[in-house]
Structure 1
Amino acid sequence: MDYRQLGRTDLKVSSLCLGTMTWGEQNSASEAIAQIERAKAYGVNFIDTAEMYPVPPRADTYSKTEQIIGDYFKQRGDRADWVLASKIAGPGNGIGYIRDGQLKHNRAHIAAAVDASLQRLQTDWIDLYQLHWPERPTNYFGQLGYRHQSGEFTSLADTLEALDEQVKAGKIRHIGLSNDTPWGTMTMLQLAEQHGWPRSVSIQNPYNLLNRSFEVGLAEVATREQCGLLAYSPLAFGMLSGKYANGVRPANARISLFSRFTRYTNPESEAACARYVALAREHDLDPAQMALAFVTAQPFVTSNIIGATSLEQLDSNLASSELQLSAEVLKSIDAIHKTQPNPAP
């Protein structure tokens, strides 16, 4: 397992990060704990969660994922072995049940969210605390064609000052962004430099063979500012594994279970998937491992967030860390991307 510096901090995180959004929905607590143990044995030291998890978000499952992780820490007593990341939700997206709709990124709501996460996680600190998506209206979750909307939102300065208070209190060590834009990322970094507030050490955005839009503007920011990408959905909800080929919908698979997940299932995405899967098999590679290895190898990626619903899937995902793609495979990947760029942004 490779370990990489998290931003400009002294923390080293594994190049694969254990994602948790299925825990409490598709995975039971015992299955989740088995995943943690398997990942740790492989060398993973980085785990990512969110107050909103599991996904899809529902009032009756809200916060179960953090509770499972907290129970693991209590049982095993190895909290210090992990770099723990969590996130505060933002307004909208039908989650008004979280903190009774107190979802702004202001001082009061951030303090309440941090305290609640700490209690559920049964820990005194969170290593990386991220804004799950911007409070302001902007492009995220696949939205294209920016159209400016007026309206009030917590200023980024007020948000950073509130996060600074949590860092000074020792409740969080570092901060990060998620689902943000080049403007949002650079503005947060500039404000931090001007006022001595915490500097964002990472940005967690989608990145996979079907969606390489991060490369357009954010990759330069991530590299020059040492605010590396924590890549989520590296398998495009499993589409790049090939298991959904030709319209197949395996029982208990995420896209089969939840009709809301359509981001990666449009005809262009399915056509591109077929080509990537065929390329992998042409070179005797597992399609999922090829897709994961591509993401992990990008120089602007700090860690690749893998998720699984079974130990068999997890083992395969972990093994991708040992795969180095040949120049021939990389050239073929870029050829496919050139003809079918970003079919699922």
Structure 2
Amino acid sequence: MSFVSLVFLIFLPLVFICYFLTPQRYRWVLILLVSYLFYAYWGWQYIPLLICSSFVDYFCALKMGREENKSARKPYLWISLTINLGILFCFKYWNFIGSNASLLFSVEFELHDLLLPLGLSFYTLQTLSYIFDVYLGKIKPERHLGLFCLYVSFFPQLVAGPIERSRTLLPQLKSLGLPTLYQFRYGLLLIAWGFFIKLVIADNLSASINSVYFGDEHFSFWVYWVIGGLVTLKIYCDFMAYSEIARGVGMLFGVKLTLNFRRPLFATNLRAFWQRWHISLTRWIGDYIQIPLLRRYPTQPHRSIVTIITLVIIGFWHGASWNFILFGLFHGVVMVLWSLMAKKISIFCGGRVTFSALYGRFF
């Protein structure tokens, strides 16, 4: 079910009324059923994948919680990784890997025409963050199966993020209450703001972009450059709109979700951009991939290689195609080069180096 649809505008008030009338101790049951209904509206046949991911990580975490050392927990970690990443690979990456392997090795790999399950990339990372934290001993496993399933499938952020951590979301789901007047007002404001960004800005940008790229008329080169910039703005508005609506819907149920975008297009350098763009994903990749690799390879040139690998992974997560891989590679290389250059010219700029500082110095 899309947030920006008439069905959702009917669905949300009905859910809120039922939530208001339901005793507090049963609200988690209502929201869990609503979350599965919300997901099933898009494709009921993919509900078993969502439940499978929840059950596997619930039981693997319980098993790990009974072990004292990491070596005894590791088999359950590998079970979780194999199943969750296997499902993700099968639906999202198999066709890309298979088609490229066919060209490379001249061997015909069978491809599928399955739709990518909605939100698969998001809830896979969310449930894996829980498994990693239990494995590392940062949190205790959740013993309530229903609440854990709700953590994985909480409908406001199920299909488009933000990717929440169990230590922040689970405590809120355990004590679902009525929103305060401030939360109610702020939630409605976020929802309205998200609708405005999506329907008024992003959709109108799409019309302009399509008329230039897919129309019969030819334009001068600078028009295509401007439209290329508008594509970035359109992607940002689309993604940010859904995240803001998700935060607003969460507020209506007294749940505070992570701020996912913090004016990334106003960042003064590429590193700051990625600290502001899709914040929950960047932090996830940083915490569970980049930082562990940097601890293992703390010196140059390994640190630079880790940075590039991190950005390639972020790009590949966004889509299974070479343009996303090259997008991540480009950002990684630029970030490394900028970091190396910044150390050499920081004295020239009088301290911290940013694009704005350099601009002011030269112009």
TM-score (norm 2): 0.27
Q: Which has the higher helix share?
A: 2
TM-score (norm 1): 0.28
| Structure with greater contact order relative to length (CA < 8 Å, sep ≥ 6) | 1
Q: Which has the higher strand share?
A: 1
